[in-house]
Structure 1
Amino acid sequence: MSDDILPAALAQGLRQEAQRRWESGLFRTATVGPTLAKRQDTDIRGDSICWLQAHDVQADITAFHDWAVRTQGLLNREFFIGLRWLECHFARYGSGAGYTRHVDQHVASSARKISLVLYLNPDWQQGDGGELCIYHPESPDTEQVRIAPRMGRLMLFRSDLIPHAVLPCSSARWSLTGWFRSDEPA
């Protein structure tokens, strides 16, 4: 976890771009389940998402992708994990929405290696909810820590190992969420 690994101006620019895309109707209700059986189930997952593309020309998204490429190289050098690319999206949880406990690694694929969450909530207050709740990997019912979704805070963790949840929030909660992957881009 880091609260200042990205420049504050970049995080603010990403937040503004997420808001612009939300207001333009580019977000879609997130789904759960395997690719061929995806379904909307707001009892499990209540966010709306807007996927980002590597070739996106918006300046803040380009700057974020450049940072991600450098971070991917660092992770590969230090941990020898063969990361090839980052898939990511903006996520917005409306009031009352959350995401039940899960791991980010899909059952049918081991390509997601490292999960990334960048919080984009400039006015988040204690009591607003929406914390990232991390559970113990060997005892998934045991809560280890809750992370407040404060502006500019970045989380990196293993996609296959760390059970986590997004607790329900009392106001809109924004993030840029993604996964460093070991396969080739689709």
Structure 2
Amino acid sequence: MITYLGTPTIETDRLILRKLKLSDAQSVFDNWLSDERVTDNLIRGAHKTVFETIERVTVIVGGYDSPEYCYWGIELKGSGELIGAIDFFNLNTTTENCDVGYALGYKWWNQGYGTEALRAVVEFGFERMNIHKISAAHNLDNPASGKVMRKIGMVQEGTIRHMIRNAKNQYKDCAVYGILQAEYMK
């Protein structure tokens, strides 16, 4: 059975994964949600105004009232700068499975931050929440995300054609990955 613990703070060597605050909205906008290089890999398009981001962050912050809500901002320990977000979603109490998604600001790509954050959240999910399986997907035109998934032990399970349609009305094929709790614990 999944043990729902909400969104506690998780620390790694270089990162603090923490709840977002309304005061983070400007950083979220500036550092990733307004950047088309980042949002092209997400279903929603780039935010054109900080007001869109304020609305989004307000929804996220409102979710923290539920112990089933797991959404972290990714903060650099050294500078306190907010560089991205990572979350569990589609938590299924019947299968005890869930999905994980993440986004990092372009300035912080290819520096190992995505891998570090994903590893920490997967560890939390398996060791503290007792999740059975964690899945993730990436657009085929974003192979770097698949590399992050493989680095933490996820295995590609297949490809789903036209899995998503982005804000530019383009269908994207996605590679689907997963890791089982038993595999992780080995």
**Alignment TM class, shorter chain as reference:** 0.3 to 0.5
